[in-house]
């Protein structure tokens, strides 16, 4: 069975932006018009910076426009695992920054639904891990409750929620254009050096570059391969299911499976990557029969939905392989990269890219404290 990418969020028209067809110059060029790149662009615009943004595809063509729509506080690792590597102070500081980002999202994003989220244990061993997470979060003063309800047993995080990820980035891109940013779609960065990008055969000359491509970072910069690796994540969505009510986004089996019910009753479900991890590494971003079948089994036997599957899709993300934090680095003078959000970049990607923009504007690395060594 061959599936084509059919993303449930793609439910409205998008007027294509022009592609780059001449040489240009600017103060800062941002590569990648996903949530991360667009947050950097907005930060730069607020400081009156002349900014260009480019994307190889369309706005939200990558994971930002095709993800699960979960808004979860913290980095990809559960808080107690982040503490084990970074210590209480740094891990809690990162967590707090994602809570601040949620508050900001609440104030600016009309389609954000602050429902809370749950982490449900798949067995006693995972429940013990939930308890360990609970104790560490309580000790660090972070909001968490025990959960025992229709979804199962585990933890409840009151600040979390969900949004429509593609609508969000499209809205941000339109606002950036209105505020004076020059954004180009179908414009691929072929070669990037400090101060210059070759894209579509034309040159972008700039003082600073921010590369916010997450799932393409190790291909653009092979020297980053020991730190970030591209992998595929897959999802499916159903027709509205009138027999099921899922009150908030669910993380199940350590987050390897996840689902939420959308306002129209459809269920969007992802996961099962770990069952086929070897075949999921790499930059092929199409859905596969094996992972789709595994997700469908979760839909039928764990979520207990019999609604027909209407959408199947996949996209590439970067996994950080040597740290619980994403990769944020100035890899050459005035050439910054960020990525490796390990599958949870809606908040963290936005924060990292925004902080890089602040570091550029203020000529200080202070905004990046805790995110990089
Ligand atoms: C199926 C799936 C489910 C997920 N679920 C969640 C979730 O529920 N919650 C969550 O927080 N995170 C989730 N994620 C992860 C999240 O989507 C990503 O971490 C996040 O979107 C990264 O955003 P970004 O802007 O950094 O990268 P992207 O959105 O991937 O954007 C990068 C952009 O760069 C462009 N690009 C790449 N190479 C070039 C080049 N050479 N030149 C120009 N442009 C280029 C791409 O076209 C793309 O548009 C999920 C991801 C997937 C795939």
Q: Is 201 part of a structural domain of the chain?
A: no
Kindly state the average pLDDT of the residues 213-234. 96
Q: Which residue among 98, 189, 346, 355 is best mutated to probe the pocket of ligand 1, counting the most ligand atoms within 8 A of its Cβ?
A: 346
Residue of 270, 266, 265, 273 whose CA lies nearest to 296: 270
Q: Check if 198 has its Cβ closer than 6 Å to any atom of ligand 1.
A: no
What's the number of domains the chain is made of?
1
Q: What percent of the chain has pLDDT over 90?
A: 96
Helix (H, G, I), strand (E, B) or coil at 231: strand
Helix (H, G, I), strand (E, B) or coil at 291: helix
Report how far apart, in Å, the C-alpha atoms of 328 and of each of 94, 240, 273, 323 are: 14, 40, 25, 11
Across the range 211-219, mean pLDDT stands at 95
Q: Which atom of ligand 1 is nearest to the CA of 188?
A: 42
Q: On the CB side of 32, how many CA atoms lie within 13 Å of its CA?
A: 29
Pairwise CA distance, residues 246 & 359, whole Å: 41
| pLDDT reported for residue 194 | 85
Residue-wise pLDDT for 1-40, tens only, equals: 778 899 999 988 999 999 999 999 999 999 999 999 999 9
**CATH assignment of the domain containing 269:** 3.30.9.10
Angle at 57 between CA 37 and CA 59, to 5 degrees: 45
Note the pLDDT of residue 157. Answer: 98
Q: What is the pLDDT of residue 359?
A: 98
Task: Tell me the mean pLDDT in the region 277-282.
Answer: 93
Q: What is the pLDDT of residues 225-238, one digit of tens each?
A: 999 999 999 999 99
Tell whether ligand 1 has an atom less than 6 A from the beta carbon of residue 271: no
Write down the mean pLDDT value for the chain: 97
Please give the backbone phi and psi of residue 277, each rounded to the nearest 5 degrees, phi first: -55, -40
Which pTM value belongs to this model?
Answer: 0.97
Give the C-alpha separation, 143 to 247, whole Å: 18
Residue 54 included in any domain = no
Q: Which of 348, 302, 357 is nearest to 77 (CA)?
A: 348
In this structure, what DSSP letter does residue 164 have?
-
Q: Is 270 in the pocket of ligand 1 (CB under 6 A)?
A: yes
**Where in the sequence is the domain holding 127, given as residue range(s)?**
114-159+229-315
Q: What is the whole-number distance in angstroms between the Cα of residue 304 and the centre of ligand 1?
A: 29
**63 CA to centre of ligand 1 in angstroms:** 3
Phi-psi region of 359 (alpha: psi -120 to 50; beta: other; left: phi over 0): alpha
The alpha carbon of 215 and the centre of ligand 1 are apart by a number of angstroms equal to: 6
Distances (CA, A) of 367 to 214, 220, 352, 372: 20, 25, 9, 10
Does ligand 1 come within 6 angstroms of the Cβ of 291? no
In tens, the pLDDT along 297-348 reads 999 999 999 999 999 999 999 999 999 999 999 999 999 999 999 999 999 9
In a domain, 97, yes or no: no
pLDDT at 220: 96
Region 212-228: mean pLDDT is 96
The CA distance from 140 to 297, in Å, is 37
């Amino acid at each position: 069975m061959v599936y084509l990418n059919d993303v449930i969020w793609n439910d409205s028209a998008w007027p294509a932006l022009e592609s780059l067809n001449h040489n240009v110059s600017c103060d800062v060029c941002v590569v990648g018009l996903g949530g991360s790149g667009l947050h950097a662009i907005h930060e730069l615009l607020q400081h009156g910076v002349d900014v260009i943004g480019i994307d190889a595809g369309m706005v939200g063509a990558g994971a930002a426009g095709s993800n699960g729509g979960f808004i979860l506080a913290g980095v990809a690792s559960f808080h107690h695992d982040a503490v084990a590597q970074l210590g209480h102070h740094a891990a809690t500081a990162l967590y707090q920054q994602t809570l601040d980002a949620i508050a900001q999202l609440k104030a600016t994003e009309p389609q954000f639904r602050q429902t809370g989220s749950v982490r449900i244990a798949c067995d006693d061993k995972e429940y013990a891990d939930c308890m360990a997470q609970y104790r560490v979060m309580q000790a660090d003063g972070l909001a968490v409750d025990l959960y025992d309800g229709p979804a199962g047993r585990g933890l409840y995080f009151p600040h979390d929620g969900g949004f429509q990820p593609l609508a969000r980035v499209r809205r941000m891109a339109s606002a950036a254009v209105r505020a004076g940013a020059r954004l180009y779609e179908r414009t691929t960065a072929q070669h990037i050096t400090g101060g210059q990008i070759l894209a579509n055969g034309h040159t972008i000359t700039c003082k600073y570059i921010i590369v916010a491509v997450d799932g393409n970072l190790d291909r653009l910069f092979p020297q980053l391969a020991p730190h970030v690796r591209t992998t595929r994540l897959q999802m499916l969505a159903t027709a509205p299911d009138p027999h099921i009510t899922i009150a908030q986004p669910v993380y199940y089996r350590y987050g390897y499976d996840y689902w939420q019910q959308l306002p129209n009753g459809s269920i969007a479900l992802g996961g099962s990557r770990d069952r086929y991890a070897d075949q999921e590494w790499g930059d092929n971003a199409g859905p596969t029969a094996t992972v789709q079948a595994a997700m469908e089994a979760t839909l039928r036997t764990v979520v207990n939905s019999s609604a027909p599957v209407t959408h199947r899709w996949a996209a590439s993300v970067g996994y950080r392989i040597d740290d619980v934090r994403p990769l944020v680095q100035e890899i050459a003078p005035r050439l910054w990269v960020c990525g490796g959000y390990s599958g949870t970049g809606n908040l963290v990607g936005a924060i990292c890219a925004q902080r890089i923009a602040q570091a550029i504007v203020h000529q200080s690395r202070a905004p990046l404290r805790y995110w990089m060594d």
